[in-house]
Amino acid sequence: MSILNQTSNPAFTNYIWNNQQKENDMMTLNGIILKTFFCLILVGLSTWYVWNLVHQGVNVKWYTSLGLLASIVLSILTSYKHTWAKFTAPLYSFAKGFFLGGISAYAEKQFEGMPMRAVTVTIITFFVMLILYRIRVIVVTKQFRSVIISATVTIMIIYLITWILSFFGIFVPFIHGTSWFAIGFNIIAACVASLALLLDFDFIERKVNIAPKYMEWVATWGLLITLIWLYVEVLRLMKKLAIRF
């Protein structure tokens, strides 16, 4: 299958889905839903823990940084050892919560109520995209996948480059500033993250009752990646708009 038949989410690449061990039990939608709720609870618990530390005056820079690093490592492990997903997906959720707790708490201290508004927008966007997908208002075609994949890869490369430059004390205002260009970039990134959900829904739908049971954890991990990316983009956009206006 060509790249046009893939999703932009690394959790749903052909490597993962084509290199599966045979099992009698198949992946089900209910299984994915239950596992997703479980992992979201883990994200919430670790987010709340770090959030509390921030409001107690504790410097959580290391919690945030290590949480992000751990989530990256766990994502790589899940990508190549998908049979480990029942362990790595919950650990990823917990680690990502440390990262989210740090950035969310600092955003709350600057702009009261902003993280909760970002969560609300993320949840609403998820269900809107799910409805649009189910009633086929937006049809996931090969061309659609190609556009979203290209946009996602481009955005991730830009973020990676700016992250590396930050180690040398180089700030990129056109991406992380509050100019109209930076705000526009953030809006595009949030839109791409939203549309990436459609690709994830499509891939899961095509693999339900076909992929082995343990792949439910991989599917859950994949949805979390997109949801958390969407939340972070929404939070960044809200902060930029709040600072500018």
Tokens of 54: 């921030």
Query: Which pLDDT belongs to residue 9?
Result: 60
3-state class (DSSP) for residue 59: coil
Query: Which pLDDT belongs to residue 5?
Result: 41
Using an 8 Å Cβ cutoff, are 89 and 36 in contact? no
pTM for this entry: 0.86
Query: Which pLDDT belongs to residue 170?
Result: 85
Query: Which pLDDT belongs to residue 74?
Result: 94
Residue 56 CB neighbours (<10 A)? 8
Query: Which pLDDT belongs to residue 52?
Result: 92
3-state class (DSSP) for residue 107: helix
3-state class (DSSP) for residue 212: strand
CA-CA distances (angstroms) from residue 33 to 5, 37, 40?
Answer: 24, 6, 11
Query: What tens-digit pLDDT sequence spans the chain (245 residues)?
Result: 333 344 456 555 554 545 554 456 889 999 999 999 999 999 999 999 999 999 888 889 889 989 988 998 999 999 888 899 999 999 999 999 999 999 999 999 999 999 999 999 999 999 999 999 999 998 899 999 999 999 999 998 998 898 788 878 888 888 888 899 999 999 999 999 999 999 999 989 988 889 899 899 999 999 999 999 999 999 999 999 999 88
